[in-house]
Structures are given as structure tokens and as C-alpha cells.
Amino acid sequence: MPHIFSQTPRMAPAGRPSDLPADKNISLNVIRVIVKTPGKQKDFMITEDTSVRQFKEKLSAHFKCQMDQLVLVFMGRLLKDHDILSQWGILDGHTIHLVIKSKQGSRSVAHSSQKLLTNEPCYQDRNTRGNSSGVYQPDSVSHTPVESALSVEPDASQVHTQHLEVGSPEHAAQEMENPSIQLLLSNTDLMIQLISEHPDMQQLMQQNPEVSHILNHSETLRQMLELARNLAIIQEIMQIQQSAQNLEHPLNTPSQLGGEKIPGGSNALGQSHADSNDQMLNSSQDSFRDNIFTALLRGQVLEHVQSSPPSPPSPQEKWDQLLKTQVIYTSSCGLSSMTSDSATPNKVYHTSRANTVANSSKGQSHTCTIQQPSGVPNIVITQQPQEEGKDATFSLDSSDQRLEDEQTSSQITGSMMQLLLNNSYLAAQMMSFMSMSQLSEQWRQQLPTFLQQTQLSDMLIALANPKALQVMLKIEQGVQQLATEAPVLLPWVAPYLWGLGWLPAPSCSYPDTEPWDWDVPDVAETKGPECNHKSGALLQKLQSLARDPSHIPQAPEIRFSKQMETLQAMGFENHHANLQALIATAGDTSAAIRKLKRFQGF
Amino acid sequence: MESPNLYPVKLYVYDLSKGLARRLSPIMLGKQLEGIWHTSIVVHKDEFFFGSGGISSCPPGGTLLGPPDSVVDVGNTEVTEEIFLEYLSSLGESLFRGEAYNLFEHNCNTFSNEVAQFLTGRKIPSYITDLPSEVLSTPFGQALRPLLDSIQIQPPGGNTVGRPNGQS
């Protein structure tokens, strides 16, 4: 398809001239280039010497847009109109990327009216982190795009009315759903400014530096704001709060908020929290904390991932959100100007506590947030979550003293974690204890403080990852299976065995590790030691686990209780040794007896 | 001829397993994997990645994963931030919506590869993009595939990338 070259008015680049003699427009190679646009791609047959401008003409006809909306990118270079395709080395089969800009130039909207939100002082651009939101134009003031966004949004008319009617929940819901408000709340820089410049907030921050810590910790704030945008979460909080306390004070009307300028979410929260008194706050905090603990516990429990379709929001996610909404709630309480003085220190304390808990849950369940689909049953903790909450030995209280106790206990546990660090064998041993439900509960309850208060190594972060623990559990189970199926292969996995406590480690203080003599012929079930078989056993076990997530591996003591009784009746008094033997032989009493006899022979 | 502005493009590589994969993969898979890789593209002083929540951005190293385990230099690009954001928006509406996330077929590394090619014409290292097929070629991977397929990864700490000015 020959192209007729026309002289372009622009200056030709230093490369090949664009105005070729007319007799050259025939018999040029036709090449096939792939034009890739987000979502689709198309082949185009053009001649080598096509200019970019002509190519754009063709593309604009095909994609039904104007030429100045087209941006062509090849090997990272923007193709200018006056270039020739071959100049860039575009040959047959190459891919050119195309971006079709939106119709209105994005800059033009930035000059929109300043008339919106005139009551608010005009904030300086504080985009210190660059364009972190990824939404706003880089050069414009951060405030302006919000206005522009507001002006552009079809629902913007609601926001234009300065009197935000937050009296009724439906209006509040509407405000929350308003995308412009979502946009506003998603701009963390702006929100930080708004929050920190509010006089009450400044007062709060003076009284307790923890609050400013929240605000400065951008990640926390970002997540808080994400949750603030989620209307469902706020509704949940409001419901919980109402059920937890007797609301004696009527809900505030907007007038009482004194011209609160932060729209939507904070208002909705603030209005529900009328005049606060200690009791109200305490009771609500306590009920929250119960829920927080269920959240943490649930977040830390070894969970089986089902292959069921994910449905939002997963309970873990939801509880974590509740947890963080606690922080929003308390910080927004600081925003609304109605707190009594006595309430403030408590509230601030609660904020810091909640922040702590929020951080810990963050550290715990978000090391690498792997969202589990909903409806995941707990395989280890068999009690109801509510009971766990009550049984939690690690309970937060509103008194400062317990905070200190907690801190010292966490220091102790911190040093313990250091110990674990140094002795990785011991750490692995602890993980095997994780499979015992009674100990694991307590251990997991301690986990939040550990993670937040101590210096963690990567390994411990991995340990805290429930998926990692799940994997380790599977390994343990797999090795158990292996011992049953093909014990001759056990020395092959010896490094992992001593990590799991089956074989003695060089420098361990593991109480019951006796030098097991893996005299293989003695073990009853010696099947052919084939690698397939071994991996098959492991796989079968894992497959069964994967398919049947309700399969709860019980603690060895429970599983082997009958065998234990038998052994004790026979005269083997050492309870621990019995248990170890039974674990090693997967419940085979006679094999265990042989093991114990051998041991006693030493 | 004016010299165009060149912006560096980097690939941040994170090991999601924090070293566990290197230790455990010989036992569990039968082959050595150096890590479970999560990647993101860093350009215009921002980090962009894809997760189950769609395309997100944050300051470089700003997710909860912390600093990357390694940084790969992908090249340079002339694409301005404005054009890039437009591009990402349309990607996020078409190919890389949150619900399109699949751990094996369409994950963060797919996204990084796509964006890297758009920005520089080069692909990301193959040891990253080959990871799913490496895992799936083992009996272990095959056996656990239904389990693993349902996993959705979304590193926290980012903001969703949307349309710059609300226009469609």
C-alpha cells in the first residue's frame, strides 16, 4: 500500500529527511507492526517509510479518536509526528505501544474554580512523597485537584452545598458514597493537614504524642482513611458502640459540631459519639477489645486456605478493619469538639492503645497480606471465638498500670524472642508446639506485643506469617507420615528432623530428646523405600489436608491417649518418652515399645 | 534536536517467603527455588504494582514488605508521568482489574512485565516470570494447585491508581 509523501511544514530531524523524491514511494517494503493498546492489540500493515504523523492518521481513523489524543511509544521512546518509523528501527513484527489520552486535556481541569470549599484555608502543596496517591497531577497544588475532581464529579452538587446534612444516617450514607468524598479521604496529605490543623486535634496531640505518631505514620493513616471511607465499617462501629453502652446523650446535630469542615466520614462518626464520659468510653473500648482480640486471634490462627470462591469481606479482613476503625473512631473523637476533659486522657490513651494494637495486627497479619477466602474454619482453635476473647490472658485495660506491666512483660518476651533468634532450633521446636492447641492459644495471644515491641528479624516475621506456620505444620505432618511409610528415608531429611525435635540437635536443651537409634529394620512397616512412595505419602497427606480443611490434627497426646495408657500399663513410666516413641511410630504401640526398650537398655 | 527527558525505570523485586523458599523448596518441590517473587515497577519516583485490589501505587519501598530484596535496572523511558498515568488507568480498567488477579496466570509479575515493555521495550528477567510454571511442573505444585489458585496477594501500603481527572 504505497503512501504518498507530503512535505511537512515542520523541521526535519537530523536523521533521514522526510521529503523524499516522489519516485521513491513505490516498491517500499511493507511491514507488519503490532500496535498494542491497553487491553488489545492489532496488526497494521504499513510501509517502512511511513511517517509517524501518517501512521497516527491511520490509527485515529481506526480507533475513532483525534490525532492529538494518540501517544505512540516504541522502546520507551515517544514517537514524534515528524519522525519516520524506520528511523527508530521499527521493523517487521515489532510492537508499538499506543496510549489514547482522554478527550479533555487533564491540565485544563486543574484550572477549575476556586470557589469550592472556600471556607477551608488554602493549603500549600505538601506532596513531599511525590505523587503517592497516583491520582493527582504532579505539578498542581494538591488541594486544587480535589476541587477539580469535585467539580467534575456528577454528584458534586451535593458537596457544593456547604451545609452537610449529617443528621440522618441516609444522608451520611450518601455522603460517604459520594466519590468525591472518597477521593478527598484518599488524599492522605490533605487529610493529615486537615486533621492536624484542627485546634482540638492539636490540643490532643500536645497531651499525648502518640496521636501525632499516628498521623505521622503514613501507612497507618492511609489504612485508617481507607477504612473511614468504608461506610459499612463505620456502621458496624456505630452498632457495636450502641449495643455496648447506654447512650444517654442524644446524637449531636450538625450545629453542635461547630462548623466541622471535614465532611462525611468524620462527621458521621463524630455525631454518634455525643458527649463522652469515661464510662461510655471504657465500656465501648472494652467491648471493642474483646472483638479486637478475636480479630487478632483469628488473624494469627493457623488457617487452612479453602479453594472456595472468595467473598468480600473476609472475616479476618473485616475484623482487622474493625480494629483499625477503632483508631479512626478515637481520632475522630478528637476532631469533634465535644469531649470532656476527663475523657480526653483516657481517650488519648485508648487511641494509643488501639494504635498499638492496630500496629501489631498489622505486623501480624499483614506481613504479606494473603487474604483468605471467607468462611475459613480454624483448624487448631476449636473453641468459639467469643470464648477466646474472654479467656484471653492478654487483656488490655484502661489503667496505665497494666500498660506498664504489659510493657515489661513484653520486654521479657522480647528477650525471649532474641533467644529464639539465636537458637533457631528452639524456634522450630516452638513451632511444633504450635500444633498443640492449648499452648498455641496462649502463645498467639502473646504474639501481638512481641511483634510490635521487639526487634524482629526476617525469620520471625516469617514465623508470624500464618501461612509459613501452616507450611511448617505440614512438614511436621509429612515427616510423621514418612516415618510410617518409609522410615529408611528419614536420615535423608535429618536436618529438618532435628529442627522438629525428632533427632537430637548438637547444642540443644530439648528435654526429652534421647538419642534415637534409627535402626531401620526394627520398625514394623518397612515398605519399599521408593522416592515416589515418600513423596506420594507427603502429597497424600497434603492433599487430604487441602481437600478436607475440617480435618483437625489433634495433639499427639489426645491421639495416642489409648496407646499411652497401654504403655503405662506395661510399665513404661516415662510419659514423655512414651509420647515421643508414639509420635515417631505414628501410634504403633508395638514399634513404640521396641523403641522404648532400646532406650531403656542404655 | 531537543534531547528528550529520560526517566529511569527500575524493577523492585521482593521475596515473599523471606528466604523460606530457598531453604524449603528442595524438600517440598524437589527443585531449588530462590524465592517467591513479587515485583513492582518504580518510575517517576513512585512504585506501581498489581494485586488483588487492582493496580496500586506508593512511594518506593512503601508497602509493608519494606525495602526490596533486589533492584533491577530496566532502562530508561521518555514516557512522561502524565501519559503513564493515563496508560495505567486504562490498563486498570481493561486488563488489570482487581478481580482479574490470579496467582499463577495473571499476577504482579505479569503486570510488571507488561509495564516494563511499555516503558522501555524490555522484559523483566525470566526467572521471575517463569516462577509459576516452575512450581506447577512439580507434583507438589500440581497437587496444591486448587489451594494456591485461590490465594490473592495484595501488599498493603498502596493507593489505588484511578483516572486522573474523572474523565472516561
* A window 369-398, beta carbon within 8 A of B: 369-371, 373
Q: Which residues are paired to B41 by β-bridges?
A: B11, B48
The verdict on a CB contact (< 8 Å) between B1 and A13 is: yes
Q: Tell me how many residue pairs between chain A and chain B have CB atoms under 8 A apart.
A: 202
Of the pLDDT bands very low, low, confident and very high (cuts 50, 70, 90), residue A427 is low
Nearest to A373 among B16, B83, B150 (CB): B150
A552 part of contact set with chain B, CB < 8 Å: no
Q: Which residue of A has its CA nearest to B1?
A: A13
Q: Do B42 and A41 contact (CB within 8 A), yes or no?
A: no
Here the cell at position A337 is 469538639
Chain A contact probe: residue of B9, B10, B49, B165 with most A CBs at under 10 A: B165
Dihedral pair phi/psi, residue B57, rounded to 5°: -140, 155
Q: Is the pLDDT of residue B90 over 60?
A: yes
Q: Is the pLDDT of residue B9 over 60?
A: yes
Q: Which residues contact A16 (CB under 8 A, 6 or more apart)?
A: A84, A86, A87
Q: Which residues contact A120 (CB under 8 A, 6 or more apart)?
A: A194, A261
**pLDDT above 90 covers what percent of chain A?**
0
Q: Is the Cα torsion angle A293, A295, A298, A300 positive or negative in sign? A: negative
Closest chain B C-alpha to A391 CA, distance in angstroms? 31
pTM, full prediction: 0.39
Nearest to B144 among A109, A461, A546 (CB): A546
Query: Which residue would you say has higher pLDDT here, B12 or A378?
Result: B12
CA proximity to A116, closest of A51, A72, A180:
A180
Q: Do A581 and A574 contact (CB within 8 A), yes or no?
A: no
Query: Which residue would you say has higher pLDDT here, A30 or A523?
Result: A30
Closest chain B C-alpha to A105 CA, distance in angstroms? 9
In this prediction, residues B49-73 reach a mean pLDDT of 91
Nearest to A109 among B4, B93, B165 (CB): B165
Three-state secondary structure call for residue A574: coil
CA-CA-CA-CA dihedral for A310, A313, A314, A317, to nearest 10: 130
Q: Which residue of B has its CA nearest to A548?
A: B147
For residue B159, the chain A residues in CB contact (below 8 A) are: 132-135, 186, 188, 222
Here the cell at position A190 is 490533605
Q: Which residue of B has its CA nearest to A476?
A: B28
- Long-range Cβ contacts of A19-27 (<8 Å, 24+ apart): A20/A49, A24/A49, A25/A49, A26/A2
**How far is the C-alpha of A117 from the C-alpha of A123, rounded, in Å?**
12
The verdict on a CB contact (< 8 Å) between A101 and B117 is: no
Q: Is the Cα torsion angle A516, A517, A522, A526 positive or negative in sign? A: positive
Chain B contact probe: residue of A217, A368, A425, A477 with most B CBs at under 10 A: A368
Domain region containing B141: 7-158
In this prediction, residues A452-467 reach a mean pLDDT of 60
Q: Kindly state whether residue B167 falls inside one of the protein's structural domains.
A: no
Per-residue pLDDT at B45: 92
Residues of B annotated as catalytic are 38, 108
Closest chain B C-alpha to A381 CA, distance in angstroms? 21
Query: Which residue would you say has higher pLDDT here, A535 or A468?
Result: A468
Q: Do B74 and B119 contact (CB within 8 A), yes or no?
A: yes
Give chain A's mean pLDDT.
57
pLDDT tens readout for residues A494-537: 665 555 555 444 443 333 333 443 433 333 333 333 334 444 44
Burial of A12 (0-12, 13-18, 19+ CB in 10 A): middle
A22 C-beta neighbours (distance < 10 Å), count? 9
Choose from A51-65, A449-463, A553-567 the range with maximum mean pLDDT. A51-65
The verdict on a CB contact (< 8 Å) between A76 and B79 is: yes
Task: Calculate ∠ Cα A345-A350-A351, nearest 5°.
Answer: 95
Bridge-based pairing of strands A30-37 and A95-100 is parallel
Query: Which residue would you say has higher pLDDT here, A281 or A486?
Result: A486
Q: Which residues contact A203 (CB under 8 A, 6 or more apart)?
A: A344
Here the cell at position B115 is 509495564
Q: Which residues are paired to A371 by β-bridges?
A: B152
Asked if residue A515 has a cis previous peptide bond (ω within 30° of 0), the answer is no
Which amino acid is located at A104 in the chain?
Q
Per-residue pLDDT at B67: 92
Q: Name the helix (H) or strand (E) containing A77.
A: strand A77-78
For residue A95, the chain B residues in CB contact (below 8 A) are: 117, 121
Q: Is the pLDDT of residue A317 over 70?
A: no
Per-residue pLDDT at A567: 83
Nearest to A307 among B82, B120, B146 (CB): B146
Here the cell at position A168 is 440522618
Q: Is the pLDDT of residue A580 over 50?
A: yes
Nearest to B95 among A38, A77, A136 (CB): A38
- The lowest-confidence range among A140-149, A311-320, A443-452 is A140-149
A14 part of contact set with chain B, CB < 8 Å: yes
Q: Do A147 and A123 contact (CB within 8 A), yes or no?
A: no
* B window 1-30, beta carbon within 8 A of A: 1, 4, 9, 16-20, 24, 27-28, 30
- The lowest-confidence range among A37-41, A332-336, B49-53 is A332-336
The verdict on a CB contact (< 8 Å) between A145 and B165 is: yes
B130 part of contact set with chain A, CB < 8 Å: no
Task: Calculate ∠ Cα B101-B104-B107, nearest 5°.
Answer: 40
Q: Is the pLDDT of residue B37 over 90?
A: yes
* A window 203-222, beta carbon within 8 A of B: 218-219, 222
Q: Name the helix (H) or strand (E) containing A32.
A: strand A30-37
pLDDT tens readout for residues A543-578: 554 444 444 445 667 777 888 888 888 888 888 888
Here the cell at position B87 is 496508560
A112 part of contact set with chain B, CB < 8 Å: no
List the CATH number of the domain containing B116: 3.90.1720.30
Task: Calculate ∠ Cα A208-A214-A217, nearest 5°.
Answer: 135
The verdict on a CB contact (< 8 Å) between B167 and A95 is: no
The verdict on a CB contact (< 8 Å) between B147 and A366 is: no
Per-residue pLDDT at A458: 59
Q: Which fold has domain A30-100?
A: Ubiquitin-like (UB roll) (3.10.20)
CA-CA-CA-CA dihedral for A463, A465, A470, A474, to nearest 10: -40
B88 part of contact set with chain A, CB < 8 Å: yes
The verdict on a CB contact (< 8 Å) between B159 and A137 is: no
In this prediction, residues A75-95 reach a mean pLDDT of 86
**How far is the C-alpha of A217 from the C-alpha of A327, rounded, in Å?**
13
A242 C-beta neighbours (distance < 10 Å), count? 12
Q: Do A48 and A86 contact (CB within 8 A), yes or no?
A: yes
Q: Name the helix (H) or strand (E) containing B13.
A: strand B7-15
* A window 317-356, beta carbon within 8 A of B: none
Q: Kindly state whether residue B63 falls inside one of the protein's structural domains.
A: yes
Q: Kindly state whether residue B142 falls inside one of the protein's structural domains.
A: yes
- All CATH 3.10.20.90 domain ranges in chain A, comma separated: 30-100
Per-residue pLDDT at A218: 61
pLDDT tens readout for residues A257-303: 333 333 443 444 444 444 444 444 444 444 444 444 444 444 443 33
Of the pLDDT bands very low, low, confident and very high (cuts 50, 70, 90), residue B42 is very high
The verdict on a CB contact (< 8 Å) between A106 and B140 is: no
Q: Kindly state whether residue B113 falls inside one of the protein's structural domains.
A: yes
Give chain B's mean pLDDT.
88
- The lowest-confidence range among A65-79, A369-383, B1-15, B20-34 is A369-383
Domain count across chain B: 1
